[in-house]
Structure 1
Amino acid sequence: MRHPYFQDPGGVVALAHRGFALDGRENSLTAFGAAVDLGFRYVETDAHATADGVAVALHDETLDRTTDGEGMVSELPWSLVRRARIGGVDPVPMLVDVLGTWPDLRVNVDVKSEHAVGPVAEAVERTASHDRVCVASFSAARRRATVARLSRPVATSAATGEVARFLLAHRAHATRLAAQALREVDALQVPVAQGRLRVVDAGTVAAAHAAGRAVHVWTVNDPDEMHRLLDLGVDGLVTDRADLLRDVLRARGTWS
């Protein structure tokens, strides 16, 4: 049975990347709220954890780039991280607030460090959001460790090594090995290309679907590219331009 995370009536998983923030205030409650106000059912976020074990929605391991604060998040207590302001305006949100503020919102959580594993799992448990969370990570070990701490299943996405094994097997026409590479996950969340390597094409989409896995592509901000990928049959798109993706899906009659 397919995980409830994927059961969206629109048929296309439209993911607002770090919310919707053209002013740079990514991963803020304001950005997530803006995506919700546009009608998005899905958002993507990143997770680190403070020194005292609070999971926060933040992409970087430091506060320096996106906030008026400084320092490694993992070395700072929540009492200091909470004072930092994204773009000088918005506080860094706890993951429990992202999950708890919008009880119907589906959240793709990229676990960014080993230190964040336990706190991310605790945030999912505290909000009982298992049915609407997808746990992702570039590291399969981090994803597995997070999922192992949960009382109920969540949706999962392939890590870098699993994606590489899938692509190698697919290109070798080893259908069984390609499917086996994705046996632990529900989705393949990948860029269109990695360097010179084309990751998403008609063949890889078909192979993932043959294995029963969804294909989500990041980070797509051009409407023509959105149309092209949707024509290939991808199941979802991750974008910084939630407004443009909404318009594309409306034009195609697939906006829920």
Structure 2
Amino acid sequence: MLNERGNALEGHKLAFAHRGFSPEDDENTMPAFRRAVDLGFRYLELDVRTSKDGVLYVFHDETLDRVTSGKGPISQLTSLQIADIKVAGTVPIPTFEELLNEWDDIHLNVDIKDAAGAELFAQHVIDAKANHRVLAASFSDERRRRTLRAAGERVASSSGMVTTVLSTAFGTVGAHRLLKLRERGIVALQVPPRYVGVPVVTPAFVRHAHEAGLQVHVWVVDERTEMERLLDLGVDGIMTDRADVLATVMDERGYWPQ
């Protein structure tokens, strides 16, 4: 997701399809991602987890129970076992390598969910020469740093949802502190509109981020009115489960296609 200078995300206002577009409950699958791309999305949000035998899969939950025919932690199963498990009853769990190589012009915002995935993710990106179109994200700053080390600092990243971002959102840290994030290779703050009932994405938050050269991406926003409010506030990107709604909003504002 770096531009030709290697120091900023591309685009004006970015639309991210959160786990693809999955009205059929097949989140994080190839059909869901293809639907989003067919709608005009060029930025896909996804999650990755590692199997017992070291294969990186596109999957959100720690366990298989919620969305698949399987049971238990995905980390305790081999790739051979995972091959028989289906999302929404019919769709296989894709590997990260499969998704990464499906398109050469699609940007991937990847939430790395386990420690083992950091090196695997970095190696896949390096092998595919795809560092310009991926962004490494994680709730864990340690996993994010581990990923950047493995990638030789050649991958863009967002800050984890930890003390720095939250304290900034609550008004205790200004743009001068955010500059330190920029110096550590972070290009975006990816945050929810609110956290434990407290507004995160405020005019001051957006202003401080922009003064520090950081983009603001907000997740997960499904209501049209909230999308409109956030865009009016100046955020740089929105992640949504309602890819159809966000595509319409972006199109009406002249940001489509991406």
The CA deviation at 1:172 is: 3.6
What is the deviation of 1:70? 1.5
Contact 1:4 1:132 in 2 (8 A): no
User: 1:104, 1:154 → 2: CA distance?
Assistant: 16
Task: State the 1:178 CA deviation.
Answer: 3.7
Show the counterpart of 1:212.
213
The one-letter amino acid of 1:212's match is G
Give the unaligned 5+ runs of structure 2.
none
SS at match of 1:203: helix
Please name the residue that 2:237 is paired with: 236
Distance change in 2, residues 1:158/1:173 (3 Å): closer
Q: CA RMSD in A?
A: 1.7
Structure 1 counterpart SS, 2:111: strand
- The residue aligned with 1:163 is 165
TM-score, normalised on structure 1?
Answer: 0.93
Match of 1:7 among 10, 13, 17: 10
1:29-48 matches, cutoff 5 A: 29-48=30-49
2:141 paired residue number: 140
> In the alignment, what sits opposite 2:179?
179
Judging changes above 3 Å, is the alpha-carbon distance between structure 1 residues 164 and 152 closer, same or farther for their aligned structure 2 residues?
Answer: closer
Deviation at 1:247, TM superposition (A): 0.4
* Structure 1 position 217, deviation (Å): 0.3
The secondary structure found in structure 2 opposite 1:6 is: coil
In structure 1, how many angstroms separate the alpha carbons of the residues matched to 2:173 and 2:124? 41
Separation (CA, whole Å) in 2 of partners of 1:158 and 1:217: 13
Which whole-Å CA distance do the structure 1 matches of 2:180 and 2:9 have between them? 21
**Aligned residues between the structures:** 252
AA at the equivalent of 1:166:
T
Indicate if the aligned counterparts of 1:3 and 1:154 stay in contact, CA closer than 8 A: no
Residue 200 of structure 1: aligned partner: 201
Residue of structure 1 in register with 2:226 after alignment:
225
Name the SS of the counterpart of 1:7 in structure 2: coil
CA distance in 2, matches of 1:130, 1:23: 31
Please tell me whether the aligned partners of residues 32 and 43 of structure 1 are also in contact (alpha carbons under 8 angstroms). yes
Return the TM-score normalized by structure 2.
0.93
| SS at structure 2 position matched to 1:186 | strand
Return 53-62 or 69-78, whichever deviates more.
69-78
Deviations 1:38-96 (A, max 9, x none): 01000000010001111100000111111111221111111111211110111000001
Which stretch shifts more, 49-58 or 63-72?
Answer: 63-72
Give the gaps of 5 or more residues in structure 1: none
SS at match of 2:47: strand
CA distance in 1 between partners of 2:173 and 2:141 (Å):
24
The offset of 1:122, in angstroms, is 2.2
2:255 alignment counterpart: 254
**Residues 78, 94 of structure 1: CA spacing in aligned structure 2 closer, same or farther, 3 A cutoff?**
same
Helix, strand or coil for the counterpart of 1:255?
Answer: coil
Give the Å deviation of 1:5: 7.2
Percent identical: 40
Partner of 1:118: 119
Q: Which amino acid aligns with 1:27?
A: N
The one-letter amino acid of 2:241's match is D
